[in-house]
Amino acid sequence: MKMKFELLINIIFSIIKALCMLWVISKSSGIFTYSFLGIFLLSRRFSSTISNFLQLGMAQTIRRYVSMNLENNSRKDYVFFGFLIWIIISICTLPIVLFYDDALAELMFGEKQYESLGLLTWMVTLSLILHYLANSTLFSERKVFLSNIFDLMNSSGFVLIALYIEKLNNSPETVLHFQVIGIISICFIYLLSYFSTDFSLTLFIKNKQFSRLFNTFVKYGSYRGLITFFDSLVILIGPWLLRDNLVASGNLVIAYTFLRLIQTAINPISQIISVGVARNLNNKDIDSHISKAVRNIVGIVIYLSVIALCFLIPWRDEILYLWLRDYSIVNGVSFYYNAILLALVPISIFHGLKGIIEMKWFKPYNLYTLIVTIIIQVLSFLILTNFVGDIAINLSIIISFFIAGLMTLFYLKDYLPKVKYYSLGKLLLASSILLLVNYTLLILNINIMISFVVYFVSIIIVFKFFSSLFITEIYTMLKIDKNIKNILKKSFKLN
């Protein structure tokens, strides 16, 4: 029961956090000018990406070692050492940023005049690192509800509060000021209460834990921190390449929000199946487990992505308007949104399978994929800009995302079924019918909400009609291993 309750909390909060992320962009787009909106969104992307790099895998290390030592007070040594790392990072970087704030602003936003925003971006970065420390501790201590509240307030809560207070929403700087104060305040309050019991600073120093903890954080956390950093960098590099045009940069950040929603939907499926692979790594038939997991995830990603695209492509402008409520912004975002839709399947395959790759091999194949993806995106943008102009960024995104998907499939090529297993020709026929349904509804000017209901019914009818052809394949791909529940219980020691 406890496992089901915690999973339910995580699912509910995932939905809430996704909606709040959309809400932040919708609200800020109605308050800030287009250039201010661009710089505000780019600043948030920068702070998120840099914090993932500077935290040095601290969050992942704490989740592992605090969870392993829940019955032992020594678990608090890991959290305190993480807190010391945060203090050292803050002391070392803040003076440099204060001295070179204009250079930092030019690097981030293309102009020196935003030096105050460059400094604030760094302050948000430091507050996010502290958040990762506090939130990872809460999660490891099995305080799932409070952990999700912290994450919600960090990602959107404080920003939304500031956007709805008239005295705070007149510029990106005031909103970010409020976010920094809010995050640091709740993190300090929690950490002070955490260290107030069953922790002795004198004993910590006396036991000379520094060397052991440093080695643990470096050996376990550094590589995992790099993966998180490069994963975030993939969706920052495009907007950064457009920093000379802050309006375009902001539009691309908004378009990428859709991709992050897709990741949110895929991650739970990927994590559950990856846990199943991890629990069977020592079994003789591990290859059959991996083959089944790969077959399931690839099938789920292909079928669900195609079904989603059949609705998202025809109705893209209407969906964006429901969200943003400004046709000028919709037109700008739609330009980049199209590219992300075209690359949806390969990048979803990467996110769906990266968990299995991490569990299966010690070599950092996911890290290699992310680095190559970023290099390809930058190089293709620089080359194509001279030939195709503004569309270069779209082409570079599509090319790099396809490379990420293909590299992921290459690593797992020995576990993939034959292409005919997925009945792609039959799926293409079904999707063509579904596309025709949606374009017909669009031409007839049917309300989008009614059209969505009609489309949902159409999916059932179409797949029912083709059931004799490939319903077996769909069922096989969506079928979850019967032992998953037991696997999760053993992995996380849930009751």
Q: What is the pLDDT of residues 331-350, one digit of tens each?
A: 889 999 989 989 988 988 88
pLDDT band at 487 (very low <50, low <70, confident <90, very high): very low
* pLDDT score for 265: 67
Residue 432 near residue 413 (C-beta atoms within 8 A): no
Q: How far is CA 47 from CA 50, 118, 314, in A?
A: 5, 10, 34
Q: In the 3-class helix/strand/coil scheme, how is 432-452 assigned residue by residue?
A: HHHHHHHHHHHHCCCCHHHHH
* pLDDT score for 469: 42
Residue 225 near residue 53 (C-beta atoms within 8 A): yes
> DSSP letters of 203-271?
HHHHTT-HHHHHHHIIIIIHHHHHHHHHHHHHTTHHHHHTTTSHHHHHHHHHHHHHHHHHHHHHHHHHH
Structure tokens at 443: 């031409």
Percent of the chain having pLDDT more than 70?
83
* pLDDT score for 270: 60
pLDDT tens digits, one per residue of 42-66? 888 999 999 989 887 888 888 878 8
Residue 287 near residue 415 (C-beta atoms within 8 A): yes
pLDDT at 275 over 70: no
Region of poorest pLDDT, from 107-116, 241-250, 267-276, 473-482? 473-482
Residue 416 near residue 385 (C-beta atoms within 8 A): no
pLDDT band at 466 (very low <50, low <70, confident <90, very high): low
pLDDT tens digits, one per residue of 343-391? 988 988 888 888 778 777 777 888 899 999 999 999 999 999 989 988 9
End-to-end CA distance of the chain: 7
* pLDDT score for 202: 61
Q: Stretch 22-26: mean pLDDT, rounded? A: 90
**List of residues 6+ apart from 370 with CB closer than 8 A:** 227, 230, 231, 233, 234, 404
pLDDT at 4 over 50: yes
* pLDDT score for 372: 95
pLDDT at 151 over 60: yes
pLDDT band at 453 (very low <50, low <70, confident <90, very high): confident
* pLDDT score for 491: 41
* pLDDT score for 29: 86
Q: How far is CA 362 from CA 231, 353, 367, 411, 432, in A?
A: 18, 15, 11, 13, 42
* pLDDT score for 401: 94
- Amino acid letter, 37: L
Please name the residue ranges forming H helices in 110-209.
115-140, 144-152, 158-163, 172-195, 201-206
The mean pLDDT of the chain is: 81
pLDDT band at 185 (very low <50, low <70, confident <90, very high): very high
pLDDT at 319 over 80: yes
pTM above 0.85, yes or no: no
Backbone angles phi, psi at 74, to 5 degrees: -65, -15
pLDDT at 205 over 70: no
